[in-house]
Amino acid sequence: MVFLSGCESGGHFTLLGYSTAPPIHEGIRTVYVPIAANTTYLIGIEQILTRAVVQEIGASGYRVTSDRNRADSELVMKVVANRKNTIILNQLAENRQAEIGIQIEVVWRDLRKDHEGNILSNPKGFDPKEKPLPGEPRAQAPQAIPLIVTPTATFTPEVGGSNQSAYQLAVNRAARQIVNMMEVWR
């Protein structure tokens, strides 16, 4: 039986596609998470979202800091839309089952001194030391392209479900998805 193995950069061992490298960005240890912005009529959803994301980040291996000046990165979120759809009506045209959804814009910025201007959530990283090709202008720091997260949740009022419980479930799903994407962005 032959095993194919090798070493990746950083000295991590790889065997048959599995790696000992941590799932988080190795150069980033701390994340600053300001309270999310909210452009919808949902009062307080920004605090609930921020609290859920901070809890998920704390469980992922990163450390959340309250001081932007001491952080390696910043995770900026904005709740931009929400919706509620009726899925099933009963015989009296009352809501039997409904679905809610929120739309969140997410941008993860690198705040380290040697990586200024790098947007970690953008597809390609920015290297200020990269020299342009002859005849091309010097590369500028990229604009942040917000990533859209759209979690949904359903609830049934007849058995005690409410808008608030559905929004809490959607926010928890969004927090989990945002932190999972932070692992992919490394």
The CATH code of the domain that includes 78 is 3.30.160.150
**Residues 22, 144 contacting (CB under 8 angstroms):** no
Length of the chain: 186
C-alpha distances out from residue 30 to 72, 104, 111, 112, 173, Å: 5, 22, 10, 10, 22
Domain presence at residue 17: no
The string of pLDDT tens digits covering residues 88-135 is 998 988 889 999 999 999 999 888 887 776 778 776 655 666 777 788
* For residues 152-165, average pLDDT: 91
* For residues 26-55, average pLDDT: 93
138 has a pLDDT exceeding 60:
yes
Domain presence at residue 9: no
**Domain of 63?**
23-125+140-184
The count of structural domains within the chain is 1
Domain presence at residue 167: yes
Domain presence at residue 15: no
pLDDT for the residue 124: 66
The larger pLDDT score, comparing residue 169 to residue 126, is at 169
Domain presence at residue 60: yes
Domain presence at residue 100: yes
